[in-house]
């Protein structure tokens, strides 16, 4: 297995994995979002690829900037295909993101994880992460303006 940067041609496989993560997405949707990420140096997506080209996981890392605290790296998503878990792919992807963060002079990596993802929490704790807070996520859908 190797870790490499994602490319546009990966969209279909990234979509399958995103859907498995709980975010149903089509290849076209992923392609559109990836186009935005790919052109922005403060974001990166890496994939875990088996010999032969099958993708078994991806990670998205970006520079998190807010007014009130230091810049840090944030994980936008991490997923390993359910059939390939426990074989080290998640660790390799996380290490890749941490190296990316270091290369961008970021001193910490931050991530948010749904409280129902108990398995992922065990994984992150094992990887040296600690829980720093519990919070609600708020969302408001905006009405489109009539013309
Ligand atoms: C979390 C996830 C990315 C881990 O990937 P993975 O490839 O299975 O992890 P690894 O094989 O690298 O495991 C690394 C270590 O964590 C441990 N680990 C992994 N999953 C674990 C679990 N469910 N419970 C306890 N430990 C776990 C492994 O045993 C391993 O320990 P070891 O090195 O002592 O053997 C993967 O389980 C996944 O995709 N989960 C579903 C999506 C998800 O929740 N993503 C995170 C969103 S915040």
pLDDT digits 0-9 by tens, 47-90 = 999 999 999 999 999 999 999 999 999 999 999 999 999 999 99
**Closest residue CA from atom 15 of ligand 1:** 123
Q: How remote is the CA of residue 123 from the centroid of ligand 1, in Å?
A: 5
Given a contact cutoff of 8 angstroms between Cβ atoms, the answer to whether 46 and 24 are in contact is no
Q: Tell me, using a 6 A CB cutoff, whether residue 90 lines ligand 1.
A: yes
pTM here? 0.94
Is residue 144 predicted with pLDDT exceeding 90?
no
Give the dihedral sign, CA 85/126/121/97.
Answer: negative
**Helix residue spans in the chain (DSSP H):** 11-21, 27-38, 89-103, 118-126
What integer pLDDT is reported at residue 147 of this predicted model? Answer: 62
Q: How remote is the CA of residue 92 from the centroid of ligand 1, in Å?
A: 11
Is residue 136 predicted with pLDDT exceeding 90?
yes
């Amino acid at each position: 297995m190797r870790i490499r940067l994602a490319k546009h041609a990966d969209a279909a496989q990234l979509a399958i994995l995103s859907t498995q993560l709980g975010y149903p997405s089509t290849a076209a949707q992923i392609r559109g979002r990836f186009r935005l990420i790919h052109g922005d140096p403060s974001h990166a997506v890496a994939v875990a690829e088996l010999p032969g080209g099958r993708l078994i996981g991806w990670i998205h890392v970006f520079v998190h900037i807010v007014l009130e605290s230091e810049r840090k790296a944030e994980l936008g998503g991490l997923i390993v295909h359910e059939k390939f878990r426990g074989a080290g792919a998640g660790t390799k992807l996380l290490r890749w993101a941490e190296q990316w963060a270091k290369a961008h002079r970021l001193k910490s990596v931050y991530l948010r994880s749904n409280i129902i993802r108990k398995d992922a929490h065990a994984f992150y704790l094992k990887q040296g992460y600690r829980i720093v807070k519990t919070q609600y996520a708020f969302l408001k859908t905006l009405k489109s303006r009539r013309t």
